[in-house]
Amino acid sequence: MLLRFLERSDPTRFAHAVATMAADGPLLDAVRDLGVEAVPLPSSNPLHPGSRRTVRALLTSGRFRLVHGYGLRADVLARGLARGADPVRAYVSAIRSTDPWRRSRHVWIDRWSARRGRVDLFLSNSEAGADSRIERERFPAEKIITIHNGIDIPDLGPEPWAARWEDTETLRAEWGIDDADGPIVATVANLRPMKGHLDLIAALRILAPRHPGLRCLFIGRDDSSGAVAEAAREAGVEQRIVFCGFVGDPL
């Protein structure tokens, strides 16, 4: 989503910089390939002195008028630093999920940092996400707008799709399912509770006896600290699932 936005932004009107709490990796490499400044922060801890110094230096450099924070940790880090930073004129907080994992402490931290720092607008990618912040965090509805994610529609002509899928044996070997003789189900999502991997595991347990060759591909970064894999083992279907990890281009 971020890369698509950067690709389409008019460079004659807007200059961007992307600061991330993640270490150098595929995202920042892709950002740099677009000619956009990429700044890795030294820690994912919003209270880390080095991260705070780096963000403070960016916001007080006189180059930025708009700051857009993605995620609670980023907001806790940047909201207070954006307040009073010149020439920053607005701070936008992203709402990318209903975040059902949040506990009372997370809600309190979000409210506190929004109240003590600077938040001019909340931008949600779903009505469900917006409603969650109104009902749970008690953020004012008039400060939240929803803009749904856009997607690129791939070319469904004979190329490049036919060329990519014509060698199915190579693809099966690449994903470690060359011995599968049944249906293959793939899900592309980071392993998080709201993505439904546990539901798919429960369904796989029911379907496996009827479809001995059934296999699943779980394509995405493991944000569950191994909980999804453990659930697969407990359900007795771990041999049916290939945990592919992060894939830059799953198509």
Structure confidence at residue 186 (pLDDT): 87
What pLDDT shows up at residue 74? 96
Counted residue by residue, the chain has a size of 251
Looking at residue 150, what is its pLDDT?
A: 82
Q: Return the structure tokens found at 183.
A: 């249906």
pLDDT of residue 166: 53
The pLDDT value recorded for residue 41 is 94
The pLDDT score that the predictor gives to residue 78 is 96
Q: In what order do the strands lie in the sheet with 90-95?
A: 66-70, 90-95, 121-124, 144-146
211, two tokens: 């479809």
In degrees, rounded to 5, the angle at the alpha carbon of residue 201 between the alpha carbons of residues 216 and 177 is 15
- Residues 59, 82: Cα–Cα separation, whole Å: 7
Q: Where are the alpha helices (DSSP H) in the chain?
A: 2-8, 26-33, 49-59, 72-82, 104-116, 127-132, 161-165, 168-174, 197-207, 227-235
Q: What pLDDT score was predicted for residue 69?
A: 96
Q: Identify whether the C-beta of residue 214 lies closer than 8 Å to the C-beta of residue 204.
A: yes
DSSP 233-247: HHHT-GGGEEEEE--
Structure tokens, 162: 């036919």
CB 225 within 8 A of CB 198: no
pLDDT of residue 179: 66
Tens digit of pLDDT at every position of the chain (251 positions): 889 899 999 989 999 999 999 877 788 899 999 999 999 999 999 999 999 999 999 999 999 999 999 999 999 999 999 998 989 999 999 999 999 889 999 999 999 999 999 999 999 999 999 999 999 999 999 999 999 988 777 665 655 555 555 566 677 777 777 666 778 888 999 998 888 999 999 999 999 888 888 889 999 999 999 999 999 999 999 989 999 888 877 66
Question: Tell me, what's the pLDDT at 251?
Answer: 63
Tokens of 95: 């709402």
CA distances from 99 to 24, 95, 124, 130, 134 (A): 26, 9, 12, 11, 13
End-to-end CA separation in angstroms for the chain: 16
At 100 the pLDDT is 87
Q: pLDDT value at position 88?
A: 93
| Cis preceding-peptide flag for 87 (omega within 30 of 0) | yes
